[in-house]
Amino acid sequence: MKILIVSWEYPPVVVGGLGRHVHHLATELAAAGHEVVVLSRQPSGTDATTHPTESRVEDGVLVVAVAEDPAHFVFGEDMLAWTLAMGHAMVRAGTALHKPGIGEGWTPDVVHAHDWLVAHPAIALAEYYDVPLVSTLHATEAGRHSGWLSGRINRQVHSVEWWLANDSDALITCSSSMEDEVTALYGPSLAPVTVIRNGIDLSTWTFRPRAPRVGPPRLLFVGRLEYEKGVQDAIAALPRIRRTHPGATLTVAGGGTQFTWLYQQARAHRVARSVDFVGTLGHAELLGWLHAADVIVLPSRYEPFGIIALEAAASGTPLVASTAGGLGEAVVDGITGLSFLPGDVAGLTSAVREVLDDPGAAQRRAHAARERLTEDFDWAGVAEQTVAVYSAAKRRVRHPLARPEIPEHPLPGRG
């Protein structure tokens, strides 16, 4: 099958888990014998006049990376204009794939879009090549804001998500909770929705049993520094944990818009010297931190999946995670880790204390978490399930789309 994947993230441009997901999926599809082209972007600020398109073959995947046109827009300041500029460049490159000297007559059998930022080019290219459009919705704007879309940009992003969802011929979500969310937000006339969980390549994550702890406990958070990731709850729990486990520290790995606010939270809770913000980590660094930590804390208030939970399980790091979204499906409470309700600082504190007080039980859960990965989260299986969605997808009759509804109340279960 000839597959055109459209994503605003692909290595070396990786913002979060989406980029890693698309990379693993694309290479696994290529390894299975499919012809895969990934249409993505070059780093922001690349001069479109001198480097409009870069093509390379990596791991059997043809990667076509564009520079947004024009390049003077800044994502954090001109988000929608920047997205349109990127989309314009992607459409131009995507419609040229079949031309001599580029794709040598290559045309896709399916277009696979990943999230709202590529809605415009993905929809346009599916129509141009007259092939089915499959979309994976990794998160929603409403979900990230607990159902409240009070700002103009929030409502615009939601509308683009609605457009992509309703114009797709098949939809994929990474968890059952995301399936429910997408159906509630964008239904009822959606194409079929299939749940396909994220996978993990176990060969790149070395399992290391916990040695007896020497010195103060070491807690670890890995993720974007955004409100919905709940880092503030881990910081609020730290002084409580230190009362029973003196000297406990929290390492925060990741970047995001809320660094200054989170640092202020650490000061407000009088644990600024015990919270270490180490920024975004490369693979080797991350693996080292996972091996060194006594427990990884994933306190998300909104989480479509949470791929770091799989990476921690593969590395042998005891898991303490909220039940938000996909984390509630990735971590089996009491079996592969310990869980608590989103925003429940007392529950988070209790779970961390239990891990630290009974390292033997924590180790048994870590082994169970690793064993589960081989059964439920294999990338070859993810690719096989995705191809089944491609094969079943058929171009739907296009009708003028109705006006999207803007949520005015929190999503069910979110205050």
pLDDT of residue 415 exceeding 50? no
Question: 172 with 35, same domain?
Answer: yes
Q: Which residues have a Cβ under 8 Å from the Cβ of 187 and sit 6 or more positions away?
A: none
Question: 8 with 100, same domain?
Answer: yes
Question: 120 with 27, same domain?
Answer: yes
Range(s) of the domain holding residue 263: 203-376
- Dist CA 277 CA 402 (whole Å): 46
In a domain, 223, yes or no: yes
pLDDT of residue 141 exceeding 80? yes
Helix or strand run (H / E) with residue 379: helix 379-392
Q: How many CA within 13 A on the CB side of residue 205?
A: 21
Question: 20 with 157, same domain?
Answer: yes
Confidence bin at 162 (pLDDT 50/70/90): very high
- Dist CA 235 CA 240 (whole Å): 10
Question: 241 with 263, same domain?
Answer: yes
For tokens 């790091």, what's the residue?
317
- Dist CA 253 CA 317 (whole Å): 15
Alpha helices in 187-336 (DSSP H): 231-244, 259-268, 283-292, 307-315, 327-330
How many domains is the chain built from?
2
Helix or strand run (H / E) with residue 133: strand 133-136
In a domain, 52, yes or no: yes
Question: 14 with 117, same domain?
Answer: yes
Residue 80: count other Cβ atoms within 10 Å of its Cβ.
15
Residue type, 133: L
pLDDT of residue 237: 98
Question: 79 with 145, same domain?
Answer: yes
- Dist CA 227 CA 233 (whole Å): 10
pLDDT of residue 146 exceeding 80? no
Question: 170 with 212, same domain?
Answer: no
In a domain, 409, yes or no: no
Question: 207 with 195, same domain?
Answer: no
pLDDT of residue 211 exceeding 90? no
Question: 27 with 160, same domain?
Answer: yes
**pTM for this prediction:** 0.82
CA of 241: how far to CAs of 218, 248, 289, 341, in Å? 11, 7, 20, 17
Q: Which two tokens stand for residue 324?
A: 């938000």
Do residues 303 and 321 make contact, with C-beta atoms less than 8 angstroms apart? no
Per-residue pLDDT tens digits for 348-382: 999 999 999 999 999 999 999 998 887 678 899 99
In a domain, 401, yes or no: no
Q: What is the CATH number of the domain that holds 270?
A: 3.40.50.2000
3-class secondary structure, 54: strand
Provide, rounded to the nearest whole percent, the portion of the chain with pLDDT above 90: 63
The mean per-residue pLDDT over the stretch 244-263 comes to 95
**How many Å separate Cα 315 from the centre of its chain?**
19
pLDDT averaged over every residue in the chain: 89
In a domain, 405, yes or no: no
Question: 151 with 277, same domain?
Answer: no
Per-residue pLDDT tens digits for 175-184: 888 999 999 9
Do residues 278 and 223 make contact, with C-beta atoms less than 8 angstroms apart? no
Do residues 313 and 369 make contact, with C-beta atoms less than 8 angstroms apart? yes
Per-residue pLDDT tens digits for 385-404: 999 999 999 998 766 666 67
The mean per-residue pLDDT over the stretch 46-73 comes to 83
**How many Å separate Cα 152 from the centre of its chain?**
24
Residue 413: count other Cβ atoms within 10 Å of its Cβ.
11
Between CA 40 and CA 188, with CA 134 as vertex, the angle to 5 degrees is: 130
Question: 281 with 370, same domain?
Answer: yes
In a domain, 407, yes or no: no
In a domain, 413, yes or no: no
In a domain, 129, yes or no: yes
